[in-house]
Amino acid sequence: MFARSVAVVGTGYVGLTTGACLASLGHRVVCADIDAAKVGKLVRGEIGIREPGLAELVREGIAAGRLSFVVGAAAALAELQSRGTPVEVMFLCVPTPMGVGGVADLAAVEAVVEETRDVIPEGCVVVNKSTVPVGTADRTSELLGRPDVGVVSNPEFLREGSAVHDFLNPDRIVVGSNSSQDAAERVAALYARLGAPTVLTDAASAEMIKYAANCFLAMKLSYVNALAELCERLDADVADVTEGIGYDKRIGQAFLSPGPGWGGSCLPKDIHALLQVADSADFEFRLLRATIDTNTRQFQRMVEKIRKAVTGKRSGSVTRKRIALFGLTFKAGTDDLRDSPALGVAALLKQAGAELVAYDPGIAAASSSIDGSLLTVVDDPYEAAKDAEAIVILTEWPEFRSLDWQRLGAAVAERTVVDTRNLLDPAVVRRADFDWVGVGRAAPYVASSLATSSVSAVRKPA
C-alpha cells in the first residue's frame, strides 16, 4: 500500500476518527477545523470526545509525524504542499444537521468547497464523508467547476462509542463516483490494509446506501419496541421472543433490544432526510413515517410505565414526585445528548410535574449543558436516588449493573425500578426488595413442565 497525502476537513466524531485512523494506516494526514481553540488542543493531543482508543491514536499519529492539525481547510492544503506532498485526497467531514422540514443542511459542505475550489491541486479527489442527500456529489462537482478534480461519495458507518473499532474493522467500504473509476479506486485503496469487502458504485447509490442502512436500523428498533408492547399485553417475554428470532440469520441479534426509543446524532436526522428525498421523488414512504410515529409513541409509553410504577395507574399523577433518572446520553459509551430518548422521556415527566434528579457516568454535573429547569444533574448515583419514589434506567451503561442495591434501597423513598433498557438482572434487584419493571417482560414464574420434556427448555425468569 502506498502512503497518500490526505486532508480531512472537520474534526468531529467522523473527521477526527477518520484522520487518526488513516494516519495509523501510514498515510500523511492534516486535519482542519474552523475552531482555533479546538485545533490548539488537538495539536497538544487533547481531544474533547469520549471515544475509546481515539486519544491514543491521535497522540501516536502526532508523535510519528503523520498527523497534524491546522485552522481552515485551505491551510490544510497549504500545509501538505509546503511538505512537498500535495494533497491527493480531501475528505469533507463537516456537519450536515437537519434543516427546515428535515432536509440536510449542506451549508458547511458548500463553504469548504468555496474556500478550497481554487487551491485544490489538479488530480486531487474530493470525498464526501459526511452523510449527505442523494445528489450531493453532483452538486459538489458543479460548485467546484473543476473537471480535473474527482468527486467521490464514501459514507461512514461509525457508531459513537466504538468509532475507532468500526473504522479499523469495517463490515464494508462503500465508494461511489460519477466522475471516474480511477477516483473511486484511489479512495478505496486508502483502506486496502483493512481487507474489508468494497462496494464500488455510482455516487447516488453510495449516498443512498448510507441512508438506507440507518433508516433500516431505526425501523428495526421501532419494530422491537412495538413488539415489546404487544408482549406485555399478551403476557409474553420480549427477551425470549427476540432471542428466538435473532438466531435466524436473515434477522440477526443486533438492534433487537427494546428501549425508551431511538435517537442520537444520526438516526433522527437521516430518517427525516430520506423522507424529504422520498417526498421530492413523489413517493409516500409510509413505513418510514410509521417508524417515526412508533418512536414518538415510545417516549409517552415509558412515561405511562413510570406513572403506573409510582402511582399504580398509567394516568396517575407524578406531580412533585421525585424521580431518579439513571442515564441521559442517547447510548452508553458516549457523552452525546443529541436527540437522546432519555431527555425526551425526561421532558414529558417534567411536563407532568415530576421533580427529576439524574446521574450519568458520561455527564459531569459541573459541565453539563442540560437546562437546569428540566432536571438536576449530580455526580453520584446514590445522591440521585436520595428520597426518590422511583429509579428509572434510561441509558444502558454497564456500570449500573454493579450498583449496590441495598445501599440504594436505604436512600430511596420507594423501592421501585423502571428499567427501560432491560439492563439489570431482575433477581439481583428484587433480592434488595425492589419492585423491578422492565419493557416487554412477562411476570416471573417457575419453569413449566417443558423443562422435563424431551426438549430441555427452561424459561429464564424475568
pLDDT band at 1 (very low <50, low <70, confident <90, very high): low
The pLDDT tens digits of the residues spanning 34-89 come to 999 999 999 999 998 889 999 999 999 999 999 999 999 999 999 999 989 999 99
* Amino acid (1-letter code) at residue 418: V
- Residues 394/299, Cβ–Cβ less than 8 Å: no
Give the percent of the chain with pLDDT over 70: 95
Compute the mean pLDDT over every residue in the chain, rounded to the nearest whole number: 93
* Amino acid (1-letter code) at residue 159: R
Question: C-alpha distances in angstroms, 67 versus 22, 43, 80, 126, 367?
Answer: 9, 9, 11, 19, 29
Residue 115 pLDDT greater than 90, yes or no: yes
Give catalytic residue positions: 266
The reply to whether the predicted model has a pTM over 0.85 is yes
Full strand arrangement of the beta sheet holding 67-71: 67-71, 28-33, 5-9, 89-92, 125-128, 150-153, 173-177, 198-201
Q: Where are the beta strands (DSSP E) in 380-423?
A: 390-393, 416-419
pLDDT band at 458 (very low <50, low <70, confident <90, very high): very low
**What pLDDT is stored for residue 451 in this prediction?**
39
Residue 421: burial class (beta carbons within 10 Å; 0-12, 13-18, 19+): buried
**What pLDDT is stored for residue 104 in this prediction?**
80
Domains of the chain: 5-201 (3.40.50.720), 217-437 (3.40.50.720)
- The rounded distance, in Å, linking the Cα atoms of 429 and 408 is 10
Q: What is the mean pLDDT of residues 92-96?
A: 93
